[in-house]
Each structure stands twice: as structure tokens, then as C-alpha cells.
Amino acid sequence: MDLAFPRRLSPMTVSRDVLQRLAAGDPAALAEFYDRYAPLVNAIALRILRAAADAEDVVQEVFLQAWRQADRFDPGRGTPEAWLCTIARTRSLDRLRRRSSRREDPEQVAPAPANAPRNVEALAVREALQGLSLDQRRALELAYYEGLTQTEIAARLDEPLGTIKTRIRTAMLRLREALGPLTP
Amino acid sequence: MTEDLFLELAPLQALGALDAEDRVRFEGHVGSCVACAAELRAHERVAAVIALGLPGVRPSPALRRRLIAGQGGQGSPAAAARAPLPWFGALAAAASLVLAVSLGVVRNQRDGARREAASARAEAERAVAALTAAERDLAEAQAFRALVQRGSSRIATLAGLSPALGAHARVVFDPATREAVLVASGLAPAPPSKTYEAWVIASGAPEPAGVFRPDAQGRAVLRLPLVEGTRAAKTFAVTLEPEAGSSAPTGPMVLAGAAS
């Protein structure tokens, strides 16, 4: 009885193949890579910047960077999705800080409606986040999507610093436990 | 600052949420502390996937046109630096064409018309088989995606048990339809004359849910048969069994996890 799916149906295996082709300079891989991940990268940039034009600038930067550095991607350190998430968050937070230092306040866009998760990993992350208490999730999101430090979060929420530290730490430990060892 | 206090800073550092003073102290310590470095890496992995929970938002088509038109067709800059000179490529292509043609002529002379006909038939059969397999794969991929995206689907996380501590798996399942897919990773090849077998445990005895082999990377994706226990699954598990599979678990349990 051989019920095993072909290897290429595993979402992570698929992503890695595209990345290898991208690093090898296959032009079709760029379009495929973009089509697969642009919604994720754009969602992160939009969540952080809350302005469509700024978010699209970041999407462009992220894909140019990923494209230039595809050959440096190390599968041992995580999935391509995780790699892109990290680049997208870093670049979005950089832009957010530049923007706030110029005191610009762009037109805000409404958060996207929740739709179906993309794959097993996304489903697991969403369930794990829903497993946190509202307070834990709020503190975690201020750190993750607004780039605030523990002291800034404590001030924003008007809570003692020790409470915030514990809340974020507990949230991260619970996520870690719920997601299990995140396999590359 | 004590070791425990440093360990407690790791999740905050992974999020970039430490204040400057704590960050400097942590960064000064982590370079020389294996435990803190491992803890930081584990939390960085968690931090890297937090955004995966966001629903996707497709950017405007104009951005796609700009990006793909601007860069496509030239290959990636990373690859361009390694690409051989154009004349070398052309020369190599010409040489292999000459080789292919000569080989073809020799073969054609040697083989009779009958053998050619047989090979054409075999070729056609292979093409039909490949097409059928591709269609089946596509149907399975669509079924899998549909299952993951269905609102009623649930998920179980299976942890590796000794001696397969590095293994990890998830089962996505729909209690209403009994459909279930197991995605495993970090599995060693099964020992000679052994195989991995999946089990669904509801209230009674474990129900066998298929044998499988991980691929060369230790990964396996297995669509479980529609067993009754999936309606009220409490636990999913994987054991090592004799090659033919067992009707009740006999070997060591390598993965297990409760249905959420």
C-alpha cells in the first residue's frame, strides 16, 4: 500500500525547489516565486505600515533582495517562508521608523478580512496565536508589528514593565510549545 | 546578571523588544554561552513564522509587471556572476548537437524498423502513464489544499518520541468527512524489513491508518484512509512495524500527539 504523496506536494519542498531555480537564474522562477509569496510579504508590510503604497515599495525591495540573495538562503536555518517573513518585517519596521521620524501619518487602510490559511504551517501558526490570551497577543503584536521595545509597550498599555516582560515571554514559550520543533 | 536571567531575555531579544541596556548585555553574553545561543535561535525561529498567520493580500498587478518585467529574462544577479561566457555556451551546445546527431545516425542504422516501432510504442505508454500520474497528483494536491483550507478541519501536532526525538509531524483532519493528511519530517529511514505505520486512536483500539516510507530528506506526506476513528480522534500516532504492516501496534512508538 503506497499512499505517500509525491515529494513535490509538500509545500516546503516546493518552495525550496523554486528558490534553487531562482538562485540558478531561471527567469520563470522569479514570476513563480513572486506569485507564491507576494500576498504574504504584502500582508506583513501592510500590517506594519498600514498604507498600500508604502507596503508595495517594501514588497518590491523584499523581492529584489530575495532574488539577489537566493543563493545564500540556508535551508538548515528555516523555511523560505520564514526567511521572507524576516526580511519583510525588518524592512517594513525600518520604513516605519523612518516615516515616524519624519512625522508622516499616512492614510490608514483597513485590515484585510481573514481568509483561508495558505498551508499547514499557516494553519498551525494561526491556531497557536489564537491559543494565546488577548493580553499576551496584544503585547506580542506590539513588539512584532510595531517594533516597540518592552518599555515602550509597558508605557503604551499602561502596565508595569515586569508584567509586560512576563507576558511576552510566556506568549513566545506557548507559541514555541504549540508549534513544536519548527522543521526547516 | 545570572544565567537564568539571561535565558529569560532570549524571547524578547528574538523579537527585538529588549531595551538598549539589556540588549547590549545579552549580546555580550550570548557569544560565549551555548545555552543562551540555542535558546535565542529557537525563539528566532518562532518569531520568524509569527507572520505566517496573517491572511494574504495580493499586491496590485502594476507592481508585478514592474518587478517581473524589470528583472525577468536576465536571470538572477547571483547566477549571472557564475554563468559561463556566452561563446562557451554556444560552443558547448553546438558540440552536443553534433554528438547527438551522430549518435542518432549510428543508432538508426543499427536498429531495425521493428525495434523503432516498439520503442515508439513504449514511449507512448510512458507518456500516458506520466500523464495519468500527473493528473492523479494534481487531484491529490487539490484535495489536500481543500482539506487544509476547510473551516471544519482540525490539526494535531505529533512530537517525536525516543529514539526519534528529532521527528515531528502534523495531522490535518476533518472529523465530518474523516479525511486526514499526515505531514511528517525528521524521520530516519525505517530499519531493514520494518516500516512506519500511522494509527488513529478514538475511544477503542488504535485503528491502522496506512504504512509509509519517508523520502531521502526524512519527510513524508501521507493521506490517511477514511477510518471511523477520525470522527472522534483523540490521538494520532506512528509506530515502527514489520514491513507488511500490522493490524494492531506491536513496535515502538516514534510519534504521538493529541488532536486539538
Q: What pTM does this model have?
A: 0.57
pLDDT at B136: 60
**What is the per-residue burial (b if ≥16 Cβ within 10 Å, else e) of B242-258?**
eeeebeebebeebbbbe
pLDDT at B13: 95
Question: End of a domain among A110, A128, A144?
Answer: A110
pLDDT tens digits along A71-85: 888 777 778 888 899
pLDDT at A150: 95
For residue B113, pLDDT over 70 is answered with no
Domain span including residue B220: 154-258
Note whether B17 contacts A42, CB cutoff 8 Å. no
Asked if the structure places residue A79 within a domain, the reply is yes
pLDDT at A137: 95
Note whether A149 contacts B185, CB cutoff 8 Å. no
Which residue stretches of B111-189 are H helix? 113-149
Q: First CA to last CA across chain A, in angstroms? A: 28
pLDDT at B84: 40
Average pLDDT over residues B191-204: 90
Whether A169 and A91 share a structural domain? no
Question: End of a domain among A55, A77, A110?
Answer: A110
Interface residue of B41, B57, B154 to substitute, partner A, most A CBs within 10 Å: B57
Report the residue from A23, A38, A123 with minimal CB separation from B148.
A123
Whether A96 and A124 share a structural domain? no
For residue B182, pLDDT over 80 is answered with yes
pLDDT band at A172; cut points 50, 70, 90: very high
pLDDT at B240: 92
Angle B238-B151-B144 from CA coordinates, rounded to 5°: 50
Asked if the structure places residue A2 within a domain, the reply is no
Domain count of chain B? 2
ipTM field: 0.83
pLDDT at B125: 72
Note whether A71 contacts B79, CB cutoff 8 Å. yes
Calpha distance B170→B221 (Å, rounded): 10
pLDDT band at A8; cut points 50, 70, 90: very low
Burial of A77 (C-beta count, 10 Å sphere; 0-12/13-18/19+): middle
Tell me if chain B has a CB within 8 Å of the CB of A47.
Answer: yes
Whether A136 and A71 share a structural domain? no
Task: Please name the residues in contact with B13: beta carbons below 8 A apart, sequence gap of 6 or more.
Answer: B23, B26, B27, B30, B40, B43
Contact residues, chain B, for A86 at CB < 8 Å: 47-48
Cell of A36: 507564491
Give me the CATH number covering residue A182: 1.10.10.10
Give me the CATH number covering residue B204: 2.60.40
Asked if the structure places residue B180 within a domain, the reply is yes
For residue B258, pLDDT over 90 is answered with no
Whether A100 and A15 share a structural domain? yes
Please provide the DSSP assignment of A127-173 as one string: HHHHTS-HHHHHHHHHHHHH---HHHHHHHHT--HHHHHHHHHHHHH
Contact residues, chain A, for B37 at CB < 8 Å: none
Calpha distance B113→B104 (Å, rounded): 14
pLDDT tens digits along B213-241: 888 778 888 888 888 999 999 899 999 99
Whether A36 and A20 share a structural domain? yes
Whether A96 and A138 share a structural domain? no
Domain count of chain A? 2
Note whether A67 contacts B71, CB cutoff 8 Å. yes
Contact residues, chain B, for A10 at CB < 8 Å: 183, 219, 221
For residue B87, pLDDT over 70 is answered with no
Average pLDDT over residues B107-132: 66
Asked if the structure places residue B28 within a domain, the reply is yes
Domain span including residue A155: 117-184
Report strand pairing: B154-160 vs B253-258. antiparallel
